[in-house]
Structure 1
Amino acid sequence: MERSFVESVGMQDIIIIKACSLAMEAHNSAAPNFLLDKIHNSSHAIFAFPGSWSTDDWVSRKPFGASKIDQTLFPSLRSVGKGDTAIVNDSFLGQFKIYLSDSNLQQEVRKAMAENKHIVFTGHSSGGPIAILATIWLLEHCKQNQNSQCTTSCVTFGSPLIGDRVFGHALRREHWSHHFIHFVNRYDIVPRVSLAPLSSMEREFPLILCFFNPKSCYHRQEIVGRSQESAGFFGSVMRNAASVTSHAACLSMESTNPLLESVIRFVELSPYTPFGTYIFCTGSGKMVTVINPDAVLQMFFHCLQLSPEEDITDVAYKSLQEHLLYEFTMQGNLERQTVVYLDNLDQIPVTANSVDNDEKRLTNIALDELGLSTRARICLQAAGVLQKQKAQNQAKIESNFSKIEEGLSMLERYRTTCEVLEIGYYDAFKFQRKHDDFNANVKRLELAGMWDEIIEMLWKYNLPDDFEARKQCVELGTKYRRLVEPLDIANYYRHNKNDDTGPYMVKGRPGRYKYTQKWLEYERGTAAGTCSESCFWAEVEELCADGDNKRSFEEVAERVLRLENKLGQWLSRGDIGRDVYLEESTFVKWWTTLPEQHKAGSSIRALVDKEGRNLPSLI
Structure 2
Amino acid sequence: MACGRLGEMLNLSEELIKKSCYLSLKAQNFPDELLLVEKSPASSYAFFCFPGSWSVDSWFSGEKAFGETVITPALFPCMKSIGNHNETAKPGDQEFAIAFVNQAFLQKFEHVLQTSQLVNQVQDAINERKSIIFTGHSTGGAIAALATIWFLQKYPKTNAATFFCVTFGSPLVGNHIISHALRRENWSQYFIHFVMRYDIVPRILLAPLSSIHQGLQKILPFFDPKSPNFRSQILGTSLEAWHLYTNVMRDASALTTHVASQLMGSTNLVLQTVKHFIKLSPYKPFGTYVFCTGNGKLVVLKNPEAVLQTLFYSCQLSSKTEWAAIAHNCLNEHFSYEKEFLGGERSLDMQDVVALDKLEELCLGSDLYLDDLGLSAEARLCLRAAGESEKQKGENLKKVNGKREEMKKALEKLEEYRALCEHNVGYFDAFKIQKDRRDFEANVSRIVLTGIWDEIIEMLKRYELPDEFEAIKEWIQLGTRFRHLVEPIDIANYYRHSKDEDTGPYMKKGRPKRFKYPQRWLEHEKKLPAGSCGESCFWAEVEELHKLTGDITAIYREEERVLKLQREVGNWIREGLVGKDVLLKSSTFYSWWQLLPPSLKSELISMDDQESMHE
TM beyond 0.5: yes
What secondary structure sits across from 1:204 in the alignment?
helix
What secondary structure sits across from 1:546 in the alignment?
coil
Output the amino acid matched with 1:614.
S
Aligned partner of 2:299 among 272, 281, 288: 288
What secondary structure sits across from 1:73 in the alignment?
coil
The 1-side partners of 2:587 and 2:255 are apart by: 57
Counterparts of 1:302-451 in structure 2, within 5 Å, are: 302-308=313-319, 310-331=321-342, 332-352=346-366, 364-420=367-423, 422-451=424-453
| CA 1:341–1:612: 2 relative to 1, 3 Å | closer
Q: Which residue of 2 aligns with 1:51?
A: 52
The 2-side partners of 1:216 and 1:103 are apart by: 25
Q: Which residue of 2 aligns with 1:10?
A: 11
State whether residues 258 and 274 of structure 2, in contact with CA within 8 Å, keep that contact through their aligned partners in structure 1.
Answer: no
| CA 1:275–1:555: 2 relative to 1, 3 Å | same
- Does residue 141 in structure 1 map to residue 139 in structure 2? no
| CA 1:135–1:532: 2 relative to 1, 3 Å | same
State whether residues 574 and 605 of structure 2, in contact with CA within 8 Å, keep that contact through their aligned partners in structure 1.
Answer: no
Output the amino acid matched with 1:433.
K
Taking structure 2 as the reference length, the TM-score comes to 0.94
State whether residues 396 and 465 of structure 2, in contact with CA within 8 Å, keep that contact through their aligned partners in structure 1.
Answer: yes
State whether residues 53 and 210 of structure 1, in contact with CA within 8 Å, keep that contact through their aligned partners in structure 2.
Answer: yes
Aligned residues: 599
The 1-side partners of 2:213 and 2:331 are apart by: 17
Aligned partner of 1:267 among 251, 258, 278: 278
Output the amino acid matched with 2:433.
F
The 2-side partners of 1:616 and 1:148 are apart by: 53
Q: Which residue of 2 aligns with 1:200?
A: 211
Output the amino acid matched with 1:80.
I
Output the amino acid matched with 2:375.
L
The 2-side partners of 1:435 and 1:23 are apart by: 72
The 2-side partners of 1:230 and 1:382 are apart by: 32
Q: Deviations 1:427-468 (Å, cap 9, x if unpaired)?
A: 111111111111111221111110001101111111111100
Residues 425-434 or 389-398, more deviating: 425-434
- Cα RMSD for the two superposed structures: 1.8
Aligned partner of 1:251 among 255, 262, 265: 262
The 1-side partners of 2:266 and 2:314 are apart by: 24
State whether residues 207 and 223 of structure 1, in contact with CA within 8 Å, keep that contact through their aligned partners in structure 2.
Answer: no
Output the amino acid matched with 1:369.
D
- Does residue 575 in structure 1 map to residue 568 in structure 2? no
Q: Deviations 1:300-336 (Å, cap 9, x if unpaired)?
A: 0100111126421221111100000101111324221
Q: Which residue of 2 aligns with 1:119?
A: 132
- Does residue 128 in structure 1 map to residue 128 in structure 2? no
Output the amino acid matched with 1:73.
L
Counterparts of 1:463-612 in structure 2, within 5 Å, are: 463-547=465-549, 551-599=553-601, 602-604=602-604, 606=606, 612=610
Q: Deviations 1:481-538 (Å, cap 9, x if unpaired)?
A: 0110011111111111111211000000000101011011111111011000011110
The 2-side partners of 1:238 and 1:486 are apart by: 54
- Does residue 613 in structure 1 map to residue 614 in structure 2? no
Output the amino acid matched with 1:275.
F
Q: Which residue of 2 aligns with 1:86?
A: 99
State whether residues 483 and 515 of structure 2, in contact with CA within 8 Å, keep that contact through their aligned partners in structure 1.
Answer: yes
What secondary structure sits across from 2:492 in the alignment?
helix
Q: Which residue of 2 aligns with 1:232?
A: 243
What secondary structure sits across from 2:422 in the alignment?
helix
The 1-side partners of 2:252 and 2:519 are apart by: 39
State whether residues 49 and 128 of structure 1, in contact with CA within 8 Å, keep that contact through their aligned partners in structure 2.
Answer: yes
Q: Is there any run of 5+ residues in structure 1 with no aligned partner, and where?
A: 353-363
State whether residues 4 and 354 of structure 2, in contact with CA within 8 Å, keep that contact through their aligned partners in structure 1.
Answer: no
The 2-side partners of 1:147 and 1:2 are apart by: 33
Taking structure 1 as the reference length, the TM-score comes to 0.94
Q: Deviations 1:579-612 (Å, cap 9, x if unpaired)?
A: 111121111111111224544xx222645x9x94
Q: Is there any run of 5+ residues in structure 2 with no aligned partner, and where?
A: 86-96
Q: Which residue of 2 aligns with 1:360?
A: none
What secondary structure sits across from 2:155 in the alignment?
helix
| CA 1:500–1:551: 2 relative to 1, 3 Å | farther
What secondary structure sits across from 1:123 in the alignment?
strand
- Does residue 175 in structure 1 map to residue 175 in structure 2? no
Residues 226-235 or 466-475, more deviating: 226-235
Q: Deviations 1:104-139 (Å, cap 9, x if unpaired)?
A: 222222222222111111000000011111111111
What secondary structure sits across from 2:381 in the alignment?
helix
Output the amino acid matched with 2:221.
C
State whether residues 26 and 48 of structure 1, in contact with CA within 8 Å, keep that contact through their aligned partners in structure 2.
Answer: yes
Output the amino acid matched with 1:311.
E
